[in-house]
Every structure is written in structure tokens, then in C-alpha cells.
């Protein structure tokens, strides 16, 4: 057999077969078991779990409905649901493999009455009837790195721009968006103009540096519709403190 044929055979048959044989990984957050493939994890199973500490420090009350944008396997959303941060959960991702993983988790954990999953290119395929009190996400963090990796690369910040331009249609009154971004790929100022142009406003930023950092450092941006009033928890001052038992430390209310 010629080398060209062997290469086509490898790409067309062997690699998909190897992916199917690759063992799934398993994690449990808040009593919800998640089975997933490693290539679907964009960090939600590790630094994405920082959302819990962050919301606890702010004293955020239980939310009625949370949406996780760019959910991947839904690590953040399922963790918040399992830890009673919300009553119901909505998840969406463009990747059919990630959507299938989320739907499997919903079925396997008996969550069909509390969690719903959409396959959607950004928010385009989500019905306008959806309304969310809180939106969370660990979206793609880089404009000029990891090209071709949909977990990390957002060319020209197109994914962010499209999301910000339409998310206001899905927010409940006084709903809040909380994005976890990476200071190695952006600063708050990277997104300020696109937030303003979308009739939204920044209501808090935490953990951010005004300049790009050499190493990954995760920060939060709290965003709302321009005319909505921030809830009390969104006005709380918090700070990150070092904790040797956890990467990146924990959050607490500022003294």
C-alpha cells in the first residue's frame, strides 16, 4: 500500500477509532457525577471551580435559573446546581460532543426536570423564551494563541462580541453575567468597549491586572444591562487570599 493511502487510512479510520476507545474521565461536583473526554475540558474542572468560592464570598443568594455559556461538559454549571447555588440550570455549547456529554450527565443523574442542554452557535439557536438570572462562563481566553482549538481561541474576539450583543435578550430583570477571563490573554479594557456598545455595563471586576500577565491568572467581570440595578451581592467587595491547599487561593469578603 502506498504511503498516501496509509495516511488517509490513519486520518479516516484509525484516529476516530482511537478516540472512541479512549477512556472517559470521571469527576463529581456537588454530588453530580460527570463522565467526559479529556479533550472537552477547557479548564472548568479545575480553575472553573473557583466560581463557588467567589459567589460564597459575595454572599450571593440561591438563583432561580443559571445559564453556562460555552459550557463544554458543564463542569461549572453542574457544580453550581449540585451545590444548591441555583434551582435550575441551562447549558449550551457549539460542540456536539460537549452537548452529548452534558445530556448524558443530565440523564445519568436524574436531572431532566432541573437541567436543559442546547447545541447552539453562540446564542443563535436558543429560544427567546429562555430567561436567566445568572450567566456564568469560562469562555475562550485568547485572540492570538491556540488557533484551531475552540476551547481556547476566540479569533478577533468574535465569540465574545456576538455573545455580548445578544445576551441582554435572555437576562431576567437585574440579571448578572459573570465571566471568568485570563489575564494572560486579556484585560478588563479588552472588553469594555464591546460591553458598552451592547447596552451593557460593568458592575464589578475582581482579581484582574491592568496589563497582560506572563502566566495564566484568572479574573472576573460582572456585567449587567445598562438600565438594571445591581443586586446587593454584586456590590460586595471581595478579595482573593492565598491558600496552599488550592491553586489560586480562595475568595473572602474584603475587610
Tens-place pLDDT, residues 18-51: 344 357 899 999 999 999 999 999 999 999 999 9
**Angle separating helix axes 75-82 and 50-58, nearest 10 degrees:** 50
Considering only CA atoms, which of 61, 119, 51, 50 is closest in space to residue 90? 119
Q: Tell me, what DSSP letter sits at residue 85?
A: S
Answer whether residue 110 is part of any domain: yes
Q: What pTM does this model have?
A: 0.90
Q: What is the pLDDT of residues 195-254, one digit of tens each?
A: 999 999 999 999 999 999 999 999 999 999 999 999 999 999 999 997 766 666 899 999
- Alpha helix stretches (DSSP H) within the chain: 3-9, 15-21, 50-58, 75-82, 96-108, 158-166, 188-197
Answer whether residue 140 is part of any domain: yes
Number of domains in the chain: 1
Answer whether residue 1 is part of any domain: no
Residue that the C-alpha cell 485570563 belongs to: 182
Answer whether residue 131 is part of any domain: yes
Answer whether residue 57 is part of any domain: yes
The CATH number linked to 74 is: 3.40.50.150
Answer whether residue 19 is part of any domain: no
Answer whether residue 53 is part of any domain: yes
Range of the domain at 92: 40-253
Q: Indicate the helix (H) or strand (E) that contains 235.
A: none
pLDDT level of residue 255 (50, 70, 90 thresholds): confident
- Name residues whose C-beta falls within 8 Å of residue 37's C-beta, 6 or more positions apart in sequence: 19, 22, 24, 25, 97, 101
> What backbone torsions phi and psi does residue 3 show, to the nearest 5 degrees?
-65, -35
Amino acid at each position: 500500500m502506498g504511503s498516501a493511502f496509509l495516511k488517509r487510512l490513519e486520518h479516516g479510520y484509525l484516529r476516530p477509532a482511537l478516540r472512541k476507545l479512549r477512556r472517559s474521565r470521571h469527576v463529581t461536583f456537588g454530588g453530580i457525577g460527570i463522565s467526559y473526554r479529556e479533550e472537552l475540558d477547557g479548564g472548568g474542572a479545575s480553575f472553573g471551580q473557583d466560581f463557588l468560592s467567589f459567589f460564597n464570598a459575595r454572599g450571593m443568594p440561591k438563583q432561580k435559573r443559571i445559564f453556562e455559556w460555552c459550557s463544554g461538559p458543564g463542569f461549572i454549571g453542574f457544580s453550581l446546581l449540585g451545590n444548591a447555588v441555583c434551582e435550575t440550570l441551562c447549558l449550551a455549547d457549539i460542540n456536539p460532543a460537549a452537548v452529548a456529554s452534558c445530556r448524558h450527565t443530565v440523564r445519568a443523574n436524574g436531572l431532566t426536570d432541573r437541567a436543559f442542554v442546547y447545541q447552539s452557535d453562540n446564542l443563535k439557536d436558543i429560544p427567546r423564551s429562555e430567561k436567566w438570572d445568572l450567566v456564568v462562563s469560562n469562555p475562550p481566553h485568547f485572540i492570538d494563541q491556540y488557533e484551531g482549538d475552540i476551547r481556547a481561541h476566540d479569533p478577533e474576539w468574535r465569540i465574545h462580541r456576538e455573545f455580548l450583543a445578544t445576551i441582554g435578550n435572555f437576562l431576567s430583570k437585574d440579571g448578572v453575567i459573570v465571566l471568568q477571563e485570563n489575564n494572560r490573554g486579556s484585560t478588563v479594557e479588552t472588553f469594555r468597549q464591546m460591553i458598552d456598545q451592547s447596552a451593557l455595563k460593568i458592575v464589578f471586576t475582581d482579581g484582574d491586572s491592568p496589563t497582560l500577565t506572563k502566566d495564566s491568572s484568572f479574573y472576573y467581570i460582572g456585567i449587567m444591562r445598562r438600565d438594571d440595578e445591581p443586586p446587593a451581592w454584586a456590590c460586595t467587595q471581595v478579595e482573593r487570599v492565598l491558600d496552599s491547599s488550592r491553586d489560586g487561593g480562595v475568595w473572602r469578603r474584603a475587610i
